[in-house]
Structures are given as C-alpha cells and as structure tokens.
Amino acid sequence: MSSMTELARVTRRRLCCCLCCCLCCCLAFASLAVSALTADAEPYPTRPIKLIVPFPPGGPVDIMARLIGDKLSSSVGQIVVENRPGGGGTVGYKAAVNAEPDGYTLHYNGLTALSVIPALSKSFEPDAKNAFAPVALVSSVPFVLAVAPRIPATTVAQLVAYARANPGKLNFGAPVGATPQLVGEMFKRSAGITFVTVPYRGAANSITDMLSGQIDMVFEPTSIVLAHIVGEKIRPLAVTSVWRSPYLPDLPTMVESGMPGVVAVSRTGIVAPAGTPPAIIATLNRAINVAVRSQDLRAALQKLGAEPVGGSPQDFAASLAEEAPKWIELVQSAGWKID
C-alpha cells in the first residue's frame, strides 16, 4: 500500500512538472506573438502619402484633390498631390493601379473616369474595374453648359437651333475621355446635332481657349466656370443636375430646357490600390468624413458650387456600380478608345 502511495505522489509530481512546462511554453509563445503583432502594427502613416491626380493642375479634379489633401495633411499626415496627366487620364490611373497597396499611394478621380477608363483603354484587363479599393467620396458638383459670348444663344433651344443651322461649325472643348466629353456626347445625341470636339489634357486648358475665342462651348463643373460666369466672361445656358444649383438659382436644368437625357453630376473621391489593408482604408475613411463635415472645407467646396459628400467605402462602391453601366454603354456605343 505504501509503494502505491509513493507511486501516486511521484506521478502527481511529474504531472505538475509537465503542466508547469506547458504553461511556461504557452506564456512564452504568447509573449512572442504579442511582440510580433506590436512590431507589425506600426503607426500609419510614417511618411508622406502621395495622392495621384490624372489631370493637369487647375482642373476640377485637381482643385478638389488639393482641398481635401490640405485638410488631411493636418489630421492624418502629409499629403502630396502629384499630377500625372496624359492618355485621357490613363497615365495617372495606371500609376495608381500599379502602386504598392500599402496606403502610401492614393488616387483622386471622378466616378465616371473610374468607370470608363478600363472600357476606353485597350491596355486594361476586363476586371480592371476591381483594381481599386474605394475609400470615400469627397464632393458632388453639376456641370454647366456654357458658351462664348459671341455665340448667338441665350438658351439651350437657341443653341440647338444654331447648331442645326450651322452643322459642324461649333467647336466643343473637353478633356479626352473625361466626363465633360461624355456629357457633350450625351447632348449631341439628345439634341440630334453635330459639333467638332476639340480634345484637351485638362479643363483649365479648354477654359483658357474658350476665354481667348478658340472654342465655342463647354460642359464643365461649376467649380471651374462659376467665377467666369460671375465675371460675365462666358454665358451659362443650363446646369446638368436634376435640380437647379443653389449657386446658380436662375439657371435652368437641361431637363427644364427640353433635354431629359442630359443629366450628370461629377462625383469625386479617393481610392486606393486593391489589396490596401482594411485598417488603413478605415483610417483614411474616418479622416475624410471628419474633413468633409468641417466648416472650413464645406465653405471652400460650396464657394466652388460643390457639395461635400463623405460616406463609407460601401457607399462609394454602390455609387460606382450605379454610375458605371450608363457611361460604359455610352463609350462603347460611340466606339471610343484612348490608346
């Protein structure tokens, strides 16, 4: 009986030793795991963030990008806007798509361009629409149909009549592959008219040529034309939103002007290369939403005739899914390609 008791005591001691060893190993492993996670979870960002704009400085997309970039620089970290124009927006688009998905390269663009560039460019694969991860929408702004003062039209109906009486005489300026060109194509089809489209690298260039008498008409966001309208350097005929713009309340919509098929707004926002960590997307989204709700940014946007948007990445994705089919059908039916 004594030997059995002694055996039990030895067994218990051995079992306790094994349990202690296992517990020590588990604690050591947990400590190493926590250390590894802490090492990986470096604060973001630790260096400047590049925000690629696919158009030249001074255009509507560039203006919005710089406004939000300045605001985020004071909350998230330094944002450096990099203009990469060319190829109808494809140069900047490709630079952003091919960037490392680490949160240090972002892309600022409009929903329309994000939708149609893969359809317009032969160099993109069919699934290029999934090349970006939406972060957040920033602004929404309608387009204005405006003409040079020398054009004898004060309404859309008068412009259509003039175009029909002078087929091919009107020169329409628009950035290649950008939303203004697509809205111009919408107008051409709805009105059953013809005009010559003059391609530009960006909106600022087309407006400059319009002011100097080189082109006759444009569709550009209020953020670009509002100051020129107020200065009576160009003549607005209609706005492309469903409702009248609060910044141009006397200006009718295209729908009110007899063009129900010409409805469009420019919604712009920030995207990141696909594969960017969700935690980084969430950090940026929170910062953008705080920024667009701030009084100073809202005032700056509204001064340009734009409305702040914000929302979740899912809201951005839903808007993109809603917009894309309309624009893709338009460019495909027109047979357009930009490379």
Digit-coded pLDDT (tens) for 267-304? 999 999 999 999 999 999 999 999 999 999 999 998 88
Co-location of 151 and 230 in the same domain: yes
The reported pLDDT for the residue numbered 14 is 52
Q: In the predicted model, is pLDDT for residue 57 greater than 50? A: yes
Flag whether 255 is in a domain.
no
Q: Do both 191 and 325 map to the same domain?
A: no
- Judged against a pLDDT cut of 50, whether residue 93 lies above it is answered with yes
Q: Which residue has the higher pLDDT, 13 or 100?
A: 100
The rounded distance, in Å, linking the Cα atoms of 177 and 116 is 8
Please give the mean pLDDT across all residues of the chain: 86
Query: What pLDDT is stored for residue 147 in this prediction?
Result: 97
pLDDT category, 327, cuts 50, 70, 90?
confident
The two three-digit tokens of residue 82, written as one number: 């990099």
**CA–CA distance, 55 with 84 (Å, rounded to integer):** 6
C-beta separation of 225 from 219 below 8 A: no
Q: What is the pLDDT of residue 219?
A: 96
Which residues form the domain of 82? Answer: 49-140+266-334
**Which residues lie below 8 Å from residue 134, measured CB to CB, with a gap of 6+?**
269, 271, 313, 314, 316, 317, 320
Q: What one-letter code names the amino acid at 232?
A: E
35 is a domain residue: no
Residue 321 has pLDDT above 80, yes or no: yes
230 and 146 both lie in a single domain: yes
Average pLDDT estimate for 84-108: 93
**CB-count burial class (<10 Å; 0-12, 13-18, 19+) for 189:** middle
CA atoms in the 13 A half-sphere facing the CB of 339: 14
- Identify the band that residue 124 occupies on the pLDDT scale cut at 50, 70 and 90: low
Specify the CATH number for the domain of residue 190.
3.40.190.10
What is the value of pTM for the model shown? 0.80
Report the relative pairing of strands 132-147 and 105-110 from DSSP bridges. Answer: unpaired
Co-location of 125 and 271 in the same domain: yes
Rounded Cα gap, residues 233 and 276, in angstroms: 45
Query: Is residue 228 located within the same domain as residue 158?
Result: yes
Q: What percentage of residues in the chain have a pLDDT greater than 70?
A: 84
Residue 96 within a domain: yes
Predicted local confidence at residue 2, as pLDDT: 46
What pLDDT, in 10s, does the model give residues 128-161?
A: 457 899 999 999 999 999 999 999 999 999 999 9
CATH number of the CATH domain containing 102: 3.40.190.150
| 93 sits in which H/E element | helix 90-97
Q: Provide the domain count of the chain.
A: 2
Q: Are residues 168 and 111 in the same domain?
A: no
The reply to whether 135 and 183 lie within a common domain is no
The 10s digit of each residue's pLDDT in 1-35 is 444 445 445 445 554 444 444 444 443 444 434 43
Number of H helices and E strands in the chain, helices first, is: 11, 10
Asked whether residue 292 is domain-assigned, the answer is yes
